[in-house]
Amino acid sequence: MPGKQTQRGDRSDAGRAYSLGFELVCAVAGFVLVGIWIDRHYSSGPWGTLICLVLGLIGGFYNLFRGASRLFNQRGSGAMSAAPHTPDEAAGPGPEAVSGIDRPDGQGR
């Protein structure tokens, strides 16, 4: 088929991203339904629904952030891929890479 062709990895990443949004919606909807049942069963007014709505939002966003960070870490692309991965890389060049002028003792290489 002529036109834009996508790689398999791009499609699976998009599928994972869509599933994260679906999980958020399902968590909120599920908790709200449980809250409605609690309100009707115990005649508690809107409090069961409101509490379950908040719990669903908290759980849904927790899963969303956790899944998004996994997806981002698996791809290994973006601005974070240039970040140092080991403490040695984060420390920068060693003393042998510094010129004599910059060294505190004033000695050359």
Q: Is residue 109 part of a domain?
A: no
- The Cα–Cα gap between 57 and 49 comes to 12
pLDDT in tens, 53-105: 999 999 999 999 999 998 888 877 554 445 555 665 556 665 555 555 555 66
Q: Is residue 107 part of a domain?
A: no
Nearest to 19 by CA among 78, 73, 75, 60: 60
Phi, psi at residue 3, to the nearest 5°? 115, -165
Mean pLDDT of 37-44: 94
| Domains held by the chain: number | 1
The model scores a pTM over 0.75: no
Token pair belonging to 18: 């869509």
Domain range for residue 40? 28-75
pLDDT reported for residue 75: 75
Q: Is residue 44 part of a domain?
A: yes
pLDDT reported for residue 10: 65
Q: Is residue 16 part of a domain?
A: no
Mean pLDDT of 35-54: 95
